[in-house]
Amino acid sequence: MLVSGIDIGLLFPAMALAIQASASLKKIAIAAAMFTFFRCFVQTIGVAIGGFMFQNRMAANLRSHPALASPASSYSLDVVSLLRCINAKPNSDPAKPILQTALSHSIRPIWALMCGLAGLALTSTIFIKHYDLNQALTTGQGFHGQEKKKVPKTAAAAVLPAAVLRDDKNADEISGDVSHDSPTAMAEARASKVD
């Protein structure tokens, strides 16, 4: 399990990064999502094909022995139960070596198919183009290429309180930070000015 975990841990991120490097900047997210989708989809198909091959080969191997022909179908459907059955049988039982041989002969075609696919994948790496992940990020978000817009005075007058828009001689009469004053404090300041 440790070896397969290390192999998968090295393989999957490398493939995901290679897929992202080959995609255009606008389609990187789509490429990453499609990689995950197709990886899961093909794994499902691979498990189904492998299970189909194993069950058919196991049933055929067990039917070739007359003593095991009747339970051949049930043994071939549940490999976990078959392994428990093989381990539970004593070494003196004549059916144990037959079951072990049938099991190993049933796995051989799957192993051969996977080795052939791995060889084909290795050969196809010769034709893979080189891509670089060191690409400049271009995005439609942020302030790049956008100029700051000036707010017209009429719009500012509608939004800002009157005390902020007063001229300097009137602003001196209001003490403290005007931005934090309440509307009632500003109204009191105006009323005191009128008196």
Q: Which domain holds residue 171?
A: 153-194
pLDDT of residue 183: 58
Spatial CA neighbour of 57 closest among 115, 116, 107: 107
- Domain end residue (candidates: 127, 142, 170): 127
87 and 162 assigned to the same domain: no
SS3 181: coil
Please report whether residue 64 resides in a domain.
Answer: yes
Please report whether residue 2 resides in a domain.
Answer: no
Please report whether residue 105 resides in a domain.
Answer: yes
Say if residue 29's pLDDT is above 70: yes
Q: Provide φ and ψ at 161, rounded to 5°.
A: -70, 160
How many structural domains comprise the chain? 2
66 and 112 assigned to the same domain: yes
pTM of the model: 0.56
Q: List for the chain the helix, strand, coil content (%; round to 5).
A: 75, 0, 25
Percent of the chain with pLDDT over 90: 17
Q: CA distances (Å), 83 to each of 79, 117, 123, 147, 172, in order?
A: 6, 27, 36, 71, 91
pLDDT digits (tens, 9 = 90+) for 52-80: 998 889 888 888 888 777 777 777 888 88
Q: Provide φ and ψ at 86, rounded to 5°.
A: -65, -45
185 and 94 assigned to the same domain: no
Say if residue 23's pLDDT is above 70: yes
User: What's the average model confidence in pLDDT over 1-6?
Assistant: 83
Say if residue 169's pLDDT is above 70: no
26 and 120 assigned to the same domain: yes
Please report whether residue 27 resides in a domain.
Answer: yes
- Domain end residue (candidates: 127, 142, 172): 127
Please report whether residue 135 resides in a domain.
Answer: no
pLDDT of residue 138: 66
76 and 22 assigned to the same domain: yes
- pLDDT band of residue 43 (cuts 50, 70, 90) is very high
58 and 121 assigned to the same domain: yes
117 and 171 assigned to the same domain: no
Place of tokens 């007058």: 157
| Beta carbons of 37 and 21 less than 8 angstroms apart | no
Lowest-pLDDT range of 53-67, 154-168, 178-192: 154-168
Tokens representing residue 78 in the block: 């549940």
Say if residue 37's pLDDT is above 90: yes
171 and 89 assigned to the same domain: no
pLDDT digits (tens, 9 = 90+) for 101-143: 888 898 999 999 999 999 999 999 899 888 877 777 666 666 6
pLDDT of residue 123: 95
- Domain end residue (candidates: 93, 127, 161): 127
15 and 53 assigned to the same domain: yes
- pLDDT band of residue 186 (cuts 50, 70, 90) is low
